[in-house]
Every structure is written in C-alpha cells, then in structure tokens.
Chains A and B, each alone.
Chain A
Amino acid sequence: MNQSQAGWRRALLCARWYLKRGALLLLALLVLGSELFDSGVAHADASTTITTTVLNRSVENGKTERIPVAGVTVNITDESGAQVGTGVTNDKGIIAIDVGKAAVYTVSIDVASLPEGVSVADKEPTSRSVDFNAGVSVGAGKKVTFFLGKSTRVTKSRWSQLPQTLVNGIKFSLLYAMAAIGLSLIYGTTGLSNFAHGEIVTLGAVVTWYLNVEGPRLHLLVAAVFGIAAAALAGGLVERSVWRPLRRRGMSLTSMMIMSIGMAIAVRYIFLFYFGGRNRRFRQYVGESQKELHIGSVGVTPRDLTIMIVSIIVVVAVCMFLLKLRLGKAIRAVSDNPDLASATGIDTNKIILLVWLVGGALAGLGGVMFGAATGIQWDMGFNILLILFAAITVGGLGNPFGALLGAFIVGMATELWSWAFPSVTELKTAAALFALIVVLIFRPQGLLGKRERIG
C-alpha cells in the first residue's frame, strides 16, 4: 500500500515536472514555429501601366515614416492566372509595368525577394487586385502600394538593428524602474501588492497634460512639477486616509489588495470619464523639434535622450538615498523587517508615509516621461501595471534594487522580443509576463529575493 503510494507520488512528481517544462517549451515552439511559417500577400491597380510602390511603413512617436524598399520582385497576373508582367523595384521602391490592356489583374510581391530584416506588416496583403474599369483615373494608369514591416522600420539586416533595440530597451527599462521602485518599497514596508499603482502613474501624466495643454498651458517642465507633486500627494493621502486606518483595524493584506483593485478600477474609469479614450500628447517635446540624433547606427530623439538622462539621475539619486542617508536606511530597515525596525525606535508609520510620497512621486515622474514618449492615455498606467509586477517579482519582492534589476530585465525582454519576433510585437507584454512565470518556476524568491519570502 505504502509502496504503491510512493510509486504514485513519484509518477505525480515526474508528471508535474514534465507538465511545467513541457508547457513552457510548447509555448515557445508555438511562437517560433509560427514565425517560420510567416507568409505575406499584397495587391495592386493600373490603366495600362501598373505602378507598384513598396514602402516600409512604421509609426514612430506618432509620426508615420515610409521608407522605399528596393529589390522586391513584383508579379502581375491576369484573371486566368497567367503572368503578364514582372519586375523589380528600384531604389525609390517603385516599379512601373505596362500590362497592355485595361482589364482586371492581380499584383503581388514575392515575399522571398524581400531584403533581410523586412517582413510583410501584419494585416497587410501581399497581393492586390487591380481593376482598370473601376475608379476615376481613366487613362492615368493604376497605382498600387504595398506596405511592409510594422516594426522593422530599417531595411537593414536584423543584427544591425540590435543597437537601436538595446537603446530602446534601456529607455523603457528606466521608465519601468521609476514606477517599480515605489511599488516594491510599498510592498516591502507594508506587504501590500498595490494594484492602484498604475493609476498613480496615469495621474501624474494626466495632471501634467491638463496644466500643459488644457488648463493654464504651462511649459511641460513646469507642469510636470505639479503633476509629480499631485501623484506624490495622492499616494500620501491614500496612505493616511485609507491604508493606515485599515492597518490599525488589522485588515488582512488580501483584503487590502482586493480593495486596491476596486479603487484602481474606479479611478481608471474616472480618468476615462473626464479625459476620454484618446491618446493625447504634450505641447512640448513633439513634432519637428524631435529630429533624431544619430550616433553610429542608433537614432535617438532629443526627447528620449532627455528622458534617459533624467531617469538615470533620478534612479542613481534614489539608490544613494536608500544606501547612504539615515532616512533611506530606515526605509530599508522597515522593508527588511517592520517589527525589528520599530523595536529599534523607527517610527514605521512615518517611514511608510514617506515611502508612499516618494513612490508616488517616482510613479508620477515615470508617468510624465512615459506620456512624453508614447502619449497620454486613460489606461496607460494600468497597461504597464502587470509589467511592473513582473519586474518587482523577477527582481525579488520588496527589494528596491531587485526592482531596478527586474525592470531592466523586463524592459530589455520586451524590446528584444519585438526585435526577435517582429511579426508578433503585440505579444511583447505577454513575453514579459511569461518571463515572470519562468523566473518563478526556477527561482521563486526572485533574483535578489530572500529565501524565506516564498513561504
């Protein structure tokens, strides 16, 4: 009886092992496999000349860029499927082919002839049909345009895009780090997984946007100060008026976590109610002033450069504060062990309030910079919330330096994902969440976490 039980247990353990690793492998293979079977289709139109243009289209910072793609083979077939013309695009991405008579044709691009690093954009066809009898441009010939590459905006090889990807990765890592430090410190000092942290990020951006664009039209840098202050105050206010009384009442952490979710939903829809669903931009740091500066093969807009420099300064300052100053050490002490810290005479409530203020300010700053980089949206904070949780869990819950490391890993992972799998960039958040699950399987306490935290 016992033996058979032991046998079962062994089988179960074995099965569990395979289930975990096998499922991971399967998902990875699924994504890779579909990558290999990527196929494209395009489509065209003409009078008796069909002019085909192949462009690599990308949307960068709200501006659409179109780069011609040379060397793409274009085939034209008539309704019966017989080939009536073929050609290769020139360095302007254009090929004009005379088909002789006005009829219905199908223009297609040969996916195999695409230069390395360029693929057919999602939703874009690789063949278009052309009907000379339709449309108003009689006698003018027909024009067909194929759009390629949603994310592969450079018609260079994939490897030459790597430096650019890494720079983008650093930018997003720093932005995630801003918000993640606060989230991690709050978790460390109070044990609360604050699901409303994303809304503090949004608040910073929305208040700044209001002062910059809608209200008194302050300069962005001035408006940002108020936005950050509003985010810090919101954090402090919620701590003083909600969390501290509830802690005193002895409410469990699970209840508080669920409460923070309810608050987050309510606040998020207040944003939607007043701010609307559109993506909006600040008045400064947009448009023509943002010509890319080129350093080797890497292009950076002045705005992104500013964002990176400011975040590096802030992150270093926060680290120095935590490592060197008394207050910072007190924060780390409370984060490490609240009871022990309060026994040594640290006023834990004061420290927790400070953490909310600092965490709120950092989240607000992150929101302003995120808004400058990608636009302001009512759910921008919510959209990065899970990435932030992934970052702090990967780094080790409650450890602010772990949050930095985690933000770096997650930020890099998402950008590298877009680089490695350009046809599924929308799944990059999924990639970050997937990385979270992988880390939890192999190192549940996170990279810098303490063993006892896994319980």
Chain B
Amino acid sequence: MNWGLIFSNGLYAAVSANAIGYMLVASGLNVHFGYTGLINFGQAGFAAVGAYAMAITVGRYDWNPVFSLALVLIAGAVLAAWVGAITLRLRADYLAIVTIAVAEIIRLFANSVKYTWLTGGNDGLQKFSGWMERLSPFDNNGITVWKQKIDGYRLWLLVVGWILVAVVSTIVYLLMRSPWGRVLKSIREDEDAASSLGKNVVAFKMQSLVIGGMIGAMGGLWIVLDKQSAQPGDFATTLTFFVFTIVIIGGIARVKGPIIGTMIFLFVFTFVDSFLREATKRPDPVLPRWLATDNNYGQVKYLLAGAALALLVAFRPQGIFGDKREQAFDVR
C-alpha cells in the first residue's frame, strides 16, 4: 500500500485547478443559498453555461478570448436573470424545481446528438484553452511536488486561479459586509420583514442570483480549463449537490466556507478513491472481493459524498466551522 501516493493524491486534489473551479461554483451557490436563502438546485447549469460559453466561442469559432471571457460572465448573468424572472415571485421550492429543470435542460441540450455541431455532443469540446497555454510564463515541463507532476499549464492555472479565488472571495466579503449584503441576510431570515421595511425583495434576490450565477459560470470555466475538455457529464445534477455538500461542510454564509469545504471534500473524495484503488488492486487485493473490487470501488466515493450530505444536514447543518445562527435552512 503506497500511503504516500494516496495522501499526495488527496492533497493535490484539494488545491488543484479543478478544486479552484469547485470553490468558485460553491462561492456562487453560497451567495444564493448561504446569504440570500435561495434554494438553487441548478448551480451545475450556471457552471455549464460558463464552460460552454468559452468552449464554443473559442473552440468552434475562434473568438478573441477577451470577448469570450466577457461572454462567460454574461451567460451566467443572463441565465440567472431568466431563471429569476420565472421563479422569484413564486414560493421557494419552486425555485428549486425550476433551477434543477433548467440545469438538466442545458445538460441534455449539450449532450444531444442533434446539436453536436455546436456543443460536441457527448464527447464535448476540446481545443479552447490554447490562449491560456500561450499566456503561461512557466516552462511546459512544470514541476514535481511530492509525487505530483504539475505541468506548466496547470501551474499557471493554479496561480491565476488562486488569485481569482482571492479576488472573488474579497468581493463577496465586501459585498456581504455592505448594507446591500445585510439586506440579503435579512431576506434570508425573514422575507416579509425585509419587505415591510420597504426593501424590494424580488430585486435583491435577482441581484444575488445574477452575482452568484456569474461566479458559478467562472467556476465552470475553471473546471473545463483544467480538463482542457468540456463535456456534458461534468455538469450533471451531482455537481450541484456536491457543491451543496461543500458549502455545508465549510459553513454556510461564510466567505471562507466554500474554500475550506472544497478542500475537505475533494481531499476525502480523492483520498478514498486512491485508497480503494490501491486496496483492490490485483493480483492480491487487500480488501476482500465481496466488499469491493477493482471494478466497483469507484462508486464508493459517490456513496460517501451522498451520505455525508444527508448526515451533515441532519446532525451538523452549520458545517464544520460554521455558525449555527447563520444557517440558511429555514427558508420558506
């Protein structure tokens, strides 16, 4: 059993460019769910439009990446405005159903054979990250840190990504400290009270939805930049619920929540997976074959993620570092 490699895999997964994507998607959800109390079950949809906005315009039509980056943000904002226009006047659980429906429509559309000419279908799109590679100042051989070989491109993604996470977190922090942010929290706590104080609840919710959607779109972009491939399977509903788990682990309505949550989630996720891969490796697996085999060990991490979500909500809704007063679960 190669414990060093197992730990190293887990630790790298917790800080990798992929993790940065998750942090951003989770930060967006935190704005919706944590601060405003909006039950957005379609965060994967926001990530998907962000990812595909870049993948299609650069990969298919060779746009200037500057315009493409702008489109990523615009796509997130437009989707948020559209979903908000439909649901924000309805009760909270309608938002949940409509957002999950919209996210699935987007994924099915990206997955369809018919629109392969645009979205690449099931195989997705590649060759949209060349501009990022060209910007990279690092040598393409990259570096090797404790068994993890990080190529120059991913090192560059890490540097830019962590700066992005810092910038986004600062913006969210400042926004939530502002009077505007306090209105959001008051809406979360008691919508009617906020409304009776003369606040336009729907407008504030809409603004929150748009800002979180834009952050989510950036997150989706980072996930596919890391893979250098955008596929519809990356944006299934499981992404949304993993991100929910992340937000809850890290502590709802905490700026550092999504960051810490992602690191813990992805560390455990990858650690379990690497451990089981080693433990079920033929010819002499450590684990008995009735328990797990090299064919089915891959399911265990998902099983644990689901169980973690259920147990956290039941027994520790404020997460590991959260503040019980901030939990956003009593949304009407």
Q: Which residues of A contact B (CB under 8 A)?
A: 16, 19-20, 23, 34, 122-123, 193, 246, 251-255, 257-270, 272-274, 276, 386, 389-390, 393, 423-424, 426-427, 429-430, 433-434, 436-437, 440-441, 444, 453-455
- Could you tell me if A273 and B303 are in contact, using CB atoms closer than 8 angstroms? yes
**Contact between B91 and A269, CB atoms less than 8 A apart:** no
Known A-B contacts: A266-B302, A272-B296, A434-B101. Give 14 more (CB < 8 A). Answer: A253-B93, A262-B245, A262-B308, A262-B310, A266-B307, A269-B306, A273-B296, A424-B112, A426-B114, A430-B105, A436-B97, A437-B86, A444-B89, A454-B91
**Contact indicator B306/A266 (Cβ below 8 Å):** yes
Using CB atoms and an 8 Å cutoff, list the residues of chain B in contact with chain A: 39, 81-82, 85-87, 89-94, 96-98, 100-102, 104-105, 108-109, 111-115, 238, 241, 244-245, 292, 296, 299-300, 302-314, 317, 329-332
Residues A455 and B299 in contact, CB atoms below 8 Å apart: no
How close is A442's CB to chain B, nearest CB, in angstroms?
11
Q: Whole-angstrom distance between the alpha carbons of A193 and B311 in the complex? A: 18
In the bound complex, residues from chain B placing their C-beta under 8 Å from that of A269 are: 299-300, 302-303, 306
Q: Closest 3 A-B residue pairs measured CB to CB?
A: A265-B306, A262-B310, A262-B309
Q: Give the distance to chain A from B285, nearest Cβ to Cβ, in Å.
A: 16
Per the bound structure, the CA–CA distance linking A20 and B88 in Å amounts to: 12
CA distance A258 to B33 in the complex (A): 12
Name the residue among A255, A436, A441 with the largest chain B CB count within 10 angstroms.
A255
Q: Which of A253, A437, A455 contacts B101 (CB 8 A)?
A: A437
| Residues in B whose Cβ lies below 8 Å from that of A386 | 100-101, 104
Chain B, Cβ-Cβ closest to A426: B112
Listed by A's residue number, 27 A-B pairs whose Cβ atoms lie within 8 Å are A20-B82, A20-B85, A23-B82, A251-B314, A252-B330, A254-B92, A254-B329, A254-B330, A257-B39, A262-B306, A262-B313, A263-B307, A268-B302, A268-B306, A269-B303, A273-B292, A273-B303, A386-B101, A389-B101, A423-B114, A426-B113, A433-B101, A433-B105, A437-B86, A437-B98, A437-B101, A453-B91
Interface centre among A259, A262, A393 (most CB of B within 10 A): A262
In whole Å, how far is A6's beta carbon from the nearest beta carbon of chain B?
Answer: 13
Q: Is the CB of A19 within 8 A of B82?
A: yes
Given contacts A426-B111, A453-B91, whether A265 and B101 have CB atoms under 8 Å apart is no
Chain A residue numbers with a CB within 8 Å of B330 are 252, 254
Chain A residue with Cβ nearest B311: A262
- With A255-B329, A437-B86 as known contacts, state yes or no: A265 contacts B241, CB within 8 Å: yes
Decide: B241 and A262 in contact? CB cutoff 8 A. Answer: yes
CA distance A263 to B299 in the complex (A): 14
A19 with B85: CB separation less than 8 A? yes
Chain A proximity of B280: nearest CB distance (Å)? 12
Distance to closest chain A CB from B190 (angstroms): 14
- Smallest CB–CB gap between A35 and chain B, Å? 9
> Interface of chain B, helix or strand or loop or mixed?
helix
Chain B residues, Cβ within 8 Å of A437:
86, 98, 101-102
CA of A309 to CA of B133, assembled, Å: 61
Q: Name the residue on A nearest B203 (C-beta).
A: A12
- CB-CB under 8 A from A122, the residues of chain B are 113-114
A264 to B238 CA separation, bound complex (whole angstroms): 11
Q: Evaluate contact between B39 and A254: CB separation under 8 angstroms.
A: yes
With A20-B85, A262-B241, A269-B303 given, is the CB distance from A427 to B114 under 8 Å?
Answer: yes
Bound-state CA distance A408–B306 (Å) is 32
Asked if A16 contacts B91 (CB within 8 A), the reply is no
Chain A, Cβ-Cβ closest to B310: A262
* Complex-state Cα separation, A259 to B309, whole angstroms: 7
Rounded to whole angstroms, the CA-CA distance of A186 and B123 in the bound complex is: 39
Give bound CA distance, A34 to B238, whole Å.
30
List of A residues within 8 angstroms of B93 by Cβ: 193, 253-254, 257
Known: A265-B309, A433-B105, A444-B90. A193 touches B97 (CB 8 A): yes
How long is the Cα–Cα vector from A262 to B314 in the complex, in angstroms?
10
Residue numbers in B under 8 Å from A273 (CB-CB): 292, 296, 299-300, 303
Chain A proximity of B149: nearest CB distance (Å): 30
Chain A residues with CB under 8 Å of B97's CB are 193, 389, 393, 436
In the complex, which of the residues B87, B105, B244, B306 contacts A440, with contact meaning CB atoms closer than 8 Å? B87
Contact (A257, B96) CB under 8 Å given A262-B311, A386-B101, A454-B91: yes
Contacts of A426 in B (CB 8 A): 108, 111-114
Closest B residue by C-beta to A246: B314
Which B residues are CB-close (under 8 A) to A268?
A: 302, 306
Residues of A within 8 A of B90 (CB): 440, 444, 454-455
